Amino acid sequence: MNIHIGCGTVYLENFINVDLPSPNCFLAHERPDLLEKFTTTEDEYYAKHANNSIDKFKAGPKVVETVCDRYGTFQNIPARDNSVKKILSRQVFEHQSVKEALLALEECRRVLLPGGRLTIDVPDTEASIRMYGQTQDPFYIRHIVGPISKGSWGHHIMSYSEPELVNLCESNGFIFLTQEENIHSYPAICLTFLRK
């Protein structure tokens, strides 16, 4: 079993896609039209969003309908103990406080098999600050603090550098494996860990 936490508008094949319950988030069996619109594969993660760019993000976040398999959070992953091979989460982990992040890692350890993989993708705050310094483009400020027009859940509560994220995860039951290539049109860090 593979789990995709915070799926939003990216519905991954061969994953259980998990997101927060909201008026605009539907379960897969309820909305086959959204499944068709958002289904992709992990190696083509943003294939359905290929036309996204920083210029499109500058227009601000849009309220869209999304689809998932199950409702849940990092603190409440809908899976049994030691049953998951891989957890993938892109641009979600930064929305948690340090306390919530520690609980999230505990929950990931609970559901992952020993040797299972945890991939966390977060904004690269240091690179975003450098880009703002070079361009003075306010997009990078929004990228640092989060799309606050989405309400309180849009805020980025934490920021991470690669060493900080490695230290946090390694201090909580994970072994750093690799840094993956940034697949976003904005600065981001994507790290994969193994559960001890």
Would you state the pLDDT for residue 170?
Answer: 98
Beta strands in the chain (DSSP E): 2-5, 11-12, 16-19, 25-27, 39-40, 66-68, 70-71, 84-90, 112-123, 174-180, 188-195
Q: Which residue has the higher pLDDT, 173 or 62?
A: 173
Confidence class for position 148, pLDDT limits 50, 70, 90: low
CATH code for the structural domain at 2-195? 3.40.50.150
Asked whether 170 and 194 are in contact (CB, 8 A), the reply is no
Rounded Cα–Cα distance for residues 101 and 117 (Å): 17
Across 131-147, average pLDDT: 87
> How many helices and strands in the chain, by DSSP H and E?
6, 11
| Mean pLDDT score, 60-65 | 70
pLDDT one-digit tens code per residue, 20-50: 999 999 999 999 999 999 999 999 988 755 6
Backbone phi, psi, residue 159, to 5°: -125, 150
pLDDT in tens, 157-186: 899 999 999 999 999 999 999 999 999 888
Domain boundaries, the chain: 2-195
Instruction: Provide the whole-model pTM.
Output: 0.90
User: Does residue 63 carry a pLDDT above 90?
Assistant: no
pLDDT of 58 > 80? The answer is: no
- Mean residue pLDDT of the chain comes to 90
